[in-house]
Chains A and B, each alone.
Chain A
Amino acid sequence: MNFKLTLAIAASMLAFGQVAHAGPSIDQYVTFSGFGTLGEVHSNYSQADFVGSLVQPRGVGYTNSWSLTPDSNLGVQADMHIVDRLTGVVQVISRDDAFGNYKPRVEWANLKYDFTPDLSVRLGRTVLPTFERSDIQNVGYALPWVRLPNEITFANSATHSDGIDVLYRVKTGAVTQNLQLLWGSTTDNFPASNFHATGLIVVSDTLQHGDTSVHLAYQSMMYSYGAFPPARLRIGSVGFTYDPGSWFLTGDSNYTRDGFYGDFYAWYLSSGVRLGRFTPYAVYSTTRAPSAAPPSGVTSLGDEHTVAAGLRWDFAKNLDFKLQVQRVTIDSVNLPASFANLQPDARVGDSANVLSLALDFVF
């Protein structure tokens, strides 16, 4: 029901957007755009549900053999040019969430003021730049794979912050740096309780030189969830992308210190080749919780590793199709990153073979 509502909103925005684009005027007040993915996933492992995002309560494998819920989503965005230097943006996303429904939620809504072409301040809800691709993790069209590897985001489910951030771009010789300083708080609703984080600070720098970009970020926040004691979460991440056009190599890594759950580290490495409209790729990703005795008493939280390979086909304008196969190996029976509803007979060393088909579009 809610997904259909989002679809209806998107369709009317698209229709309006087409009308708005009809005129040749340079200054448009509002620009509408959007993105989405229609994804179908299959898993042969019936002792757990493979999920597309760690908050999803069910997925494919145990609950169903095939499912649309892990990856399908729809996002609509309105960019508003208010006055010179002041713009606003609202993005609403609908995807299978913690409650198992597609209730549209405001992913972000903020006002941006450009002091100079290189210095801006944003007030409101902005996306968290925790990882190299955290800002586009919902936009399938902008990702080389079907989804961002589940392992890399395991330590941090928060995707946006309510507060203020500063964006500063500086060019030194041939190196361009995009610096970001963010301060805010975030709240997320889950069936069991609410997740609330305050004192959320992120410092991030993306350095770009020619075909290479490096992303460095540090995030810190105090969070509370249900009856658990409040804890500090700190994440340091380093990622890179080398993309000369005919092929690419990209990787991301992070180390997390959670005051209650202990330490985690995760990384992925991926490469792909562009052959005409086809881009075959491969990815290796993993997450490990090395703490021997965290306060939570839960060891090896999330441990798993994945080997994936796939093909992206840019078959038409604004559309792409992806086929991805992966083998996810459970290295722990304590909430492995890609799974929900782990059954009692699941064992360390079990592997799930997962097939994903995805149709991405932007408009």
Chain B
Amino acid sequence: MRTSVLSALMFVLLAAANIRAEEIVVIVNPAAKPLGKEQIADLYLGRSGGLTPVDQTAGSAIYAEFYKKATGRDISQIKAIWSRILFTGRGLPPKQLPDSAAVKKAVATNLNTVGYIEKSAVDASVKVALPLD
């Protein structure tokens, strides 16, 4: 009786731990210059150029979480901001890549590309510019 209650409690706690989102990090090419939080926000809100930001798939959890943490805005606001940039001919929204592996590959092979992946997916092919908390 007590064992099963304990098991149930552990199960709930473990489940809760898994539900909590994984930490996201912003990655750049290993030879690239360091980036600050404001620079990253500017880049992903279309306020600055020079570097090429890439997104994960819109609608994915990491996409929403990244924008919330990096820019403080939710995805419908992000969509409205980029719609304005797109439909005034000032640029295109960041390219969407299918998963973290694709993001890493794009960043590793391009000096100017910036992306975001789960912290656990980081390897030697990329450099962490900023962890997002």
| B 32-74 binary contact with A (CB < 8 Å = 1; else 0) | 0000001000100001111010000011000000000000111
Considering the chains assembled together, what is the distance between the CA atoms of A19 and B79 in angstroms?
Answer: 22
Task: Flag A100-113 by CB within 8 Å of B: 1 or 0 each.
Answer: 00000000101010
Q: Enumerate B5-47 residues with CB–CB distance to A below 8 Å.
A: 38, 42, 47
B55-98 vs A: 1/0 string, CB under 8 Å? 00011000000000000111011011001101111101001011
Roughly how many angstroms separate A317 CA and B73 CA in the complex, as a whole number? Answer: 15
Q: Which of B48, B80, B83, B95 contacts A176 (CB 8 A)?
A: B48
CB under 8 Å from chain B, chain A span 106-156: 108, 110, 112, 114, 117-118, 122, 126-127, 135-136, 139, 141-142
Contact of A24 with B98 in the complex, beta carbons under 8 Å: yes
Is chain B's binding surface mostly helix, strand, loop or mixed? loop
B89 touches A26 (CB 8 A): no
Chain B contacts for A26, CB-based, 8 A: 52, 95, 106, 110
Measured CB to CB, the closest approach of chain B to A304, in angstroms, equals 28
A327 at the interface (CB under 8 A from B): no
Q: Are B77 and A117 in contact (CB under 8 A)?
A: no
Q: A245 at the A/B interface (Cβ < 8 Å)?
A: yes
B: number of interface residues (CB 8 Å): 30
Q: Is A329 among interface residues, defined by CB-CB distance under 8 A?
A: no
Partner of A314 from B58, B76, B84, B89 at Cβ < 8 Å: B76
Q: Is A356 an interface residue (CB 8 A)?
A: no
Q: Do the beta carbons of B50 and A317 come within 8 Å of each other?
A: no
Q: How far is the CB of A46 from chain B (nearest CB, A)?
A: 36
Q: Which B residues are within 8 Å of any A CB, using their own CB?
A: 38, 42, 47-50, 52, 58-59, 72-74, 76-77, 79-80, 83-84, 86-90, 92, 95, 97-98, 102, 106, 110
Binding site for B on A (CB under 8 A): 24, 26, 31, 33, 35, 75, 77, 79, 89, 91, 108, 110, 112, 114, 117-118, 122, 126-127, 135-136, 139, 141-142, 167, 169, 171, 174, 176, 208, 243-245, 274, 277, 314, 317-318, 320, 362
